[in-house]
Amino acid sequence: MAIKINDDNLEKIDKNLKLVQKGCSTRRVSAIQILADVIPKLDIFFKDYDQSSKDGLFVIINMFAGTFSENYKGVPRSTHFEMIYLHGQWRYIGAYRAFCGKHSIEYVLTPLMEKEKAEKPNNKNKNVVIFKNE
């Protein structure tokens, strides 16, 4: 399932997120957060790459990444979601609950993006903070 992330599909995405987050009360994600908060940040994060080279870019987002004090018993879980960039638009693939972890974004660059990165290694994704708790 790869749903275009736009106003018309927010209900479909929210339906999937509700299934994944059933019974969870904290560290939840909504479709509107993805559209309004995550997409603009991803566009900034990958702005140095050509639009055409991003086709097939795969990302996993964990909005609640961070470290937790020793007093906190164990590592909490949060909703992680996967997206892919296809035909000039971000698409929602799915979501799952997992440990919060330390990284808010994981990604697999396309071969064209890898080539661009090799040609200009100092310009790509330099110390960009995606979410404030990173």
* pTM score, whole prediction: 0.82
Of 28-32, 42-46, 55-59, 100-104, minimum mean pLDDT range: 100-104
Residue 128 has pLDDT above 60, yes or no: no
DSSP string, the chain: --EE-SGGGHHHHHHHHHHHTTT--SS---HHHIIIIIHHHHHHHTTTS-TGGGTTEEEEEETT-----TTS-S--EEEEEEEEEETTEEEEEEEEEEE--S-SEEEE--HHHHHHHHHSTTSSSTT--SSTT-
CA angle 10, 77, 6 (to 5 degrees): 15
Q: How far apart are CA 49 and CA 68, in angstroms?
A: 34
> Vertex 134, ends 90 and 29: CA angle to 5°?
50
pLDDT digits (tens, 9 = 90+) for 81-123: 999 999 999 999 999 998 887 888 889 999 999 998 888 766 5
pLDDT number for residue 99 = 85
CA distance 82 to 102: 17
**Domain assignments of the chain as residue spans, ordered by start:** 3-119
Residue-level pLDDT at 131? 56
